Amino acid sequence: MRIKLIAAVVLASGIASSAYSADLPVRQAPPVYVPVFTWTGFYVGVNAGVGWANSRNVIVTGPTAASSGIVSGGGGDGSFVGGGQIGYNWQSGAIVYGLETDIQYVDIGGRVAWGPYDWWRGRGEDDGGYLGTVRARLGYAFDRTLIYITGGLAYGGLNSNPLTGNNTSNVGWTIGGGVEYAFTNNWSVKLEGLYLDTSEGRKSRFFVNAPGGALPAGTYTATTDNSSGAGLVRVGINYKW
């Protein structure tokens, strides 16, 4: 009887201890908060790349057929471009859309091979200018990788007027696209290409050649042709907040 009594006491104690343990709160490690990445937000950044433009020829009309000709124009092939951009993105699902504006320094360094028309030498030779755009962007996000198209207004230009050297007052349009990758929640890098048309169209200037020179005396007219079109490829880095 004594053994049975001891066994019953031990059994009852074990049952009570199990019930008490079940009532105790379970302690777990606090959850770790991981921010969900989104493309939504303001961003600002810098960029650098290379730009090129169609060479614009100059058609010279002199007092005689022999004194007329075509002068090879100077384009902005292989010119350095660099500047900064600022914009805002909205993300809805995988679709990302936004607005961006940028401003660039353009090292055009355009020159014109004037040939026999030495009296025009020095005109239309510029060492640089600027280019700006205001564009919409529309893209598709694969998590941290964004593929997008873009287009809008362009001003300034890569197309200088070889008669005046003016490459900072033109207004036109631009279209292009790119890919951007966010390597952190705030920093991203991009590769972008744009095609632009900011040419001035046909422009003319006049010059009176005095007697006694290599060319016949009289009035000469130089007119730029209608060639246009320019492009740039650039890499950039953005900070988003």
Residue 158 has pLDDT above 90, yes or no: no
- For 39, list phi and psi in degrees, rounded to 5: -85, -10
d(CA 204, CA 182): 49
Pairing label, strands 95-107, 129-142: antiparallel
The confidence band for 171, taking pLDDT boundaries of 50, 70 and 90, is confident
The percentage of residues in the chain with a pLDDT greater than 90, rounded to a whole number, is: 41
d(CA 155, CA 196): 9
Burial string for 199-232 (b: 16+ CB within 10 Å, else e) reads: bbeebebeeebeeeeebeeeebebbbbeebebbb
pLDDT at 198: 78
Q: What is the pLDDT of residues 84-131, one digit of tens each?
A: 999 999 999 999 999 999 999 988 655 667 778 877 766 655 556 788
Segment 227-232 shows an average pLDDT of: 77
Residue 164 has pLDDT above 70, yes or no: no
Q: Are 73 and 60 in contact (CB under 8 A)?
A: no
Q: What is the pLDDT of residues 178-223, one digit of tens each?
A: 999 999 999 999 999 999 887 766 778 888 888 887 889 899 998 8
pTM: 0.73
pLDDT at 55: 65
d(CA 234, CA 45): 12
pLDDT at 34: 60
Residue 77 has pLDDT above 90, yes or no: no
pLDDT at 6: 55
Contacts of 160 (CB under 8 A, 6+ apart): 53, 56, 74, 76, 108, 110, 124, 126, 129, 166, 167
Average pLDDT of the chain to the nearest whole number: 81
Tokens of residue 201, six digits = 């169209």
Residue 59 has pLDDT above 90, yes or no: no
68 or 119: which leads in pLDDT: 68
117 or 141: which leads in pLDDT: 141
pLDDT at 149: 98
pLDDT at 128: 62
Segment 33-37 shows an average pLDDT of: 73
